[in-house]
Amino acid sequence: MKNVLIIGGNGFIGTNLAKYLSTLYNVFSFDIQNPKQKEKNVTYIEGDFFDDEVLNRALENIDVVIHSLSTVNPGNSNTRFMQGYSRDFVQSAHLFDLCVQKNIKVIFLSSGGTVYGIQDVQPIKEDALANPINHYGSVKLCIETVLKTFNKQSHSKMIIARISNPYGPGQDFNKGVGFIDAALKKALNNETIEIWGDGTVVRDYIYIEDVCKMIATLIEYDGEEEVFNISSNEGVSLNDVIKEIRELGLNPNVVYKDARSVDVPKVVLDNSKIESIHSFEIQSFKEGLCKYYQYLIG
């Protein structure tokens, strides 16, 4: 059985990945501190990703690394951008070097919602020219470029997974990401939902369970492709989200604010490449939203 290390294992995606993958592999979750709630089949490693010695030890006897750690998000990256470049980018390059030396497979979790920037052709294929408009996407793209260079120079087969907009159990919009999470929780608590712009911004939302299944598929993938969109291939506007929440029987209170420069007007990712190797059916937005709603109300 393969040993899989999740770097950033306490995050929203990392936590869900650890839970799902622990039914298939020996899973090690690596983060700065252990989570309050642990999965019984997951081994937790407490340590600093930016400490070279600690990172090197964490990689011992590992077959696959899933790099899920980021210290910035789309909302704060334009003010904290140097942290992304000086820390996340530099240490990711070091990680890739270590993994090449140790013959460890890498899956880097990139941001399909931000690396492409503004694209005329939708849904967006993996070979579209990436042109991010915020520093979060730019940092992710920089890391991707280094990974591709290692693949070319070292003949490694590291993979880039460009995830669209995941949502579901374990997400916390207070950390700066997650409109679905914010809208549902605020509707349930009779709090005001803030929408930046007129609500016509379109995103490709994907339920976190489907993300985990797709990444599990990439763990077993041994082909030549190095970039995969992890997405639903379904475009949903912010106004559509509010409409679907109303259809759940809730009465969301919405206020519209000025649009933000960090937000791309429309991002829908073509998922035909991952679908060609992925055997599971993807949940529709309506199905995923209902499932998350049922989870939240317990």
pLDDT the model gives residue 91: 98
pLDDT value at position 260? 82
What pLDDT sits at residue 55? 98
pTM here is: 0.95
Q: Check residue 177 and give its pLDDT.
A: 83
Q: How many CB atoms lie within 10 A of CB 134?
A: 22
pLDDT along the chain (298 residues), means of 10: 97 97 98 92 98 98 97 79 93 98 98 95 98 94 98 96 97 89 97 96 98 98 97 98 97 94 89 95 97 96
**pLDDT tens figures, 64-80:** 999 999 998 877 767 88
pLDDT in the model for residue 22: 98
The predicted pLDDT at position 175 comes to 82
What is the pLDDT at residue 171? 96
Cis peptide bond prior to 265, omega within 30° of 0: no
